[in-house]
Structure 1
Amino acid sequence: MAVLGALPPDVLCRPIREADWEGVVDCLCRGFPERDRSYWTQALTRLSQRPAVADFPQYGLALEKAGRIVGVVLTLYTRYRGQEGDEIRCNLSSWSVDAESRPYGAKLVTTILKQRDVTYTNISPAPATLKANWALGFRPFSTGQFAFLPALNSVPRSYRVLEVRPDLAEMAMLPDSERYILSEHSALGCLSLICICDGVAFPFVLMPRRILRGLVPCYQVIYCRSLEDLSRCAGAMGRFLLRSGILLCVVDAKEPIAGLFGRYRHNSGLKYFKGPRPPSLGDLTFTELVVFGP
């Protein structure tokens, strides 16, 4: 049974500091033995390079017992600026607690979840934590994934697809918030594209991945304004992606997507949220998938 109240005198729940990195990496390696130390060191390094958001933790929270890190949850806070005002999201990631301290593990998450104006996401829940997710108030915003072949869509003559670069003049056709998303994700190794049709620019971010036990290369949709925009521009993007030899794309969905040729897999890649506003389908910006890597 998880303990949600006061912790024992020798157990402390506190923000992670840079001085904790070695102990945090040790704890994460114990919890996720399939990952090596370099993965977690890169994750913390990239978190240190992210802009601070208000007074929220830069890295996440740690459970400390007798001077030793025995539990960790990493947090990726991002401020989104939109027409309806600022929105803050927090992607919870890499919840790991040593076996002897698991009665206190829920304290890590409940401490973070106190801010009611923040939207929290969990995009890679372990099967064993699904009941805990529901108990904490998380609900799915994506119940499956849709794998599709964009090159099979037709391409209107007026469509153009451009890869984002710093001197690309067409970036001026997008609002500041989307220019920031495209440039930041390009720097993180994603493919940022602008599809232009009849004077209108549609932004997209795709992340290279390998699925089916690493045998099949594909692109994961990290950002699009809507699934309708994705369907509208799929043919043009598909022709563009053929240059790299990749035919397959994957996007989060709740059902098959009209206008796209592919297959919907229910209960694949479940993703959860808690808070005032769920992320839209096709929006995984600044989450662990991008910042830490698949």
Structure 2
Amino acid sequence: MLRIVSIDEQRLTTAADLLAKGFPERDAGFWARGVSRLHAYARDHDFASVGSILLAKDEPVGVLLKIPGYHMTTGQKLLNLSSWYVDARYRWFAPRMLQEAMADDTFVYTDFSPSENAIKLNQQLGFRTFASRNLLFALPFTALFGRNAGTVLPIDQVPEGGLSARQVDGINLHMKLGCMALAIKLHDTCHPVILDVISKRRIPMARVLYATSAQTVVDNLRPLSRFLLKRGVPLLSMVTPADVQVRHAINPWPAHAYQIKGVWQDDVINEMFSERVFLNA
């Protein structure tokens, strides 16, 4: 008999063990830390669960993480599906796990890192697939030759009322999680940008997690580059729609696809509630 149960505090270790089995390129310690971090976030924000475990009788045979969040501008509820693994003996039941995870139609559902098999299954369940590029910018170069449409402000220098209360809450949450925030000021409007900083071959690299549009970032690469260079970050990566015109970038990674079920603004970069943040993936 197969049944699906929620990942509660007593099942965190079980979830981490399943994830380590399904994704052996990461060790058990990585998954234990990530699941604990995600659980703490959900507990502090009154979210019911961070995912599901599939049981065959009492044997854990599958896991799916669910990262809840909201759109910083509209308030729309979001749920990111991540790190999905089912033992080969029970793969036939995998679609049921996804259907159970998406039972609430008041959410917009996302999958920012789907496998080839997941892409096909997600499409059958109503997801749209977006083709995009994950671009890399060398900031010493773009600091000289990038576009310069507006001004970059440290987040603590944004004028009072320049950001909505929901935007401030989202920024504060992500800064507590170790992310960096700033604002691009165009005319009289402040556009928040959230980044995380990781190390690539021991070189700091910022990744854009949120921006009101990829074009806003592209149009302000010169001041943004100088802002990040002053903070010791020489590289920037950003996922952009294929139709955004970008100069001074290279495309060193394979084609990037993400999937959405529900209403989505295609030009907005919004990976605030992705595994990048909560699992440090």
TM over 0.5: yes
> How many angstroms does 1:14 deviate by?
2.2
1:171/1:45 Cα in 2 relative to 1: closer, same or farther (>3 Å)?
Answer: farther
Q: Which deviations, in whole Å up to 9, do the C-alpha atoms of 1:5-38 show, x marking residues without a partner?
A: xxxxx21112222111222111111101111222
Quick one: which of 233, 241, 254 aligns to 2:228? 241
Alignment match, 1:229: 216
Match of 1:60 among 34, 45, 51: 51
1:175 and 1:55 map into 2 onto residues whose CA distance is 22
Aligned with residue 207 of structure 2, among 174, 198, 220: 220
Q: How does 1:54-203 map to 2 (within 5 A)?
A: 57-80=48-71, 82=73, 86-149=75-138, 150-151=142-143, 152-155=145-148, 159-162=151-154, 164-165=155-156, 168=157, 170=159, 172-203=161-192
Offset at residue 224 of structure 1 (A): 0.8
For residue 41 of structure 2, what is the amino acid of its counterpart? R
Provide closer, same or farther for how the CA distance between residues 74 and 259 of structure 1 changes in structure 2, counting only shifts above 3 A: closer
Contact 2:206–2:237 (CA under 8 A) maintained in structure 1: yes
1:270 aligns with one of 251, 254, 257: 257
TM-score (norm: length of structure 2): 0.86
* Distance (Å, rounded) in 2 between the aligned partners of 1:65 and 1:183: 41
SS at match of 2:169: helix
Which amino acid in the other structure matches residue 179 of structure 1? V
- The count of aligned residue pairs is 277
Contact 1:57 1:75 in 2 (8 A): no
Question: 5+ unaligned residues in a row in structure 1: which ranges?
Answer: 1-9
- SS of the equivalent of 1:263 reads coil
- The match for 1:44 is 35
Measure the CA separation in 1 of the matches of 2:246 and 2:133.
18
SS in 1 for 2:220: helix
Deviates more, 1:259-268 or 1:29-38: 259-268
Task: Describe the superposition over 1:216-263 as per-residue Cα deviations: whole angstroms up to 9, x where unpaired.
Answer: 542211111112321232211111111244333222122263364213
1:206 aligns with 2:195: yes
Q: Name the Cα RMSD after superposition.
A: 2.8
Flag the 1:75–1:279 CA change in 2: closer, same or farther, 3 A. farther
How far has the Cα of 1:185 moved from its partner? 1.4
1:33 aligns with 2:40: no
d(CA) in 2 for partners of 1:186 and 1:279?
A: 25
- Kindly provide the amino acid, as one letter, of the partner of residue 121 in structure 1: T
Offset of residue 154 of structure 1: 4.6
Identify which range, 69-78 or 147-156, moves more after superposition: 147-156
Alpha-carbon offset, residue 204 of structure 1 = 0.9
Q: What is the percentage of aligned positions where both structures have the same residue? A: 24
Gaps of 5+ in 2: none
**8 Å Cα contact 1:27/1:98 also seen in 2:** no
CA distance in 2, matches of 1:53, 1:117: 21
TM-score by length of 1: 0.82
Measured at CA, do residues 153 and 208 of structure 1 come closer, stay the same or move farther in structure 2, by a change above 3 Å?
Answer: same
Three-state SS of the structure 1 residue aligned to 2:206 is strand
Q: 1:62 to 1:91 in 2, by over 3 A?
A: same
Task: Please report how far the alpha carbon of residue 178 of structure 1 lies from its aligned counterpart in structure 2 after TM superposition.
Answer: 1.4
Taking the aligned partners of 1:233 and 1:134, their CA distance within structure 2 comes to: 35
Q: Is the 8 A contact 2:131 2:258 kept in 1?
A: yes
CA displacement, residues 21-62 of structure 1 (integer Å, 9 cap, x when unaligned)? 222111111101111222222222222222569997421111
The AA in structure 1 aligned to 2:163 is L
Q: Select the residue among 253, 273, 279 that pairs with 1:286.
A: 273
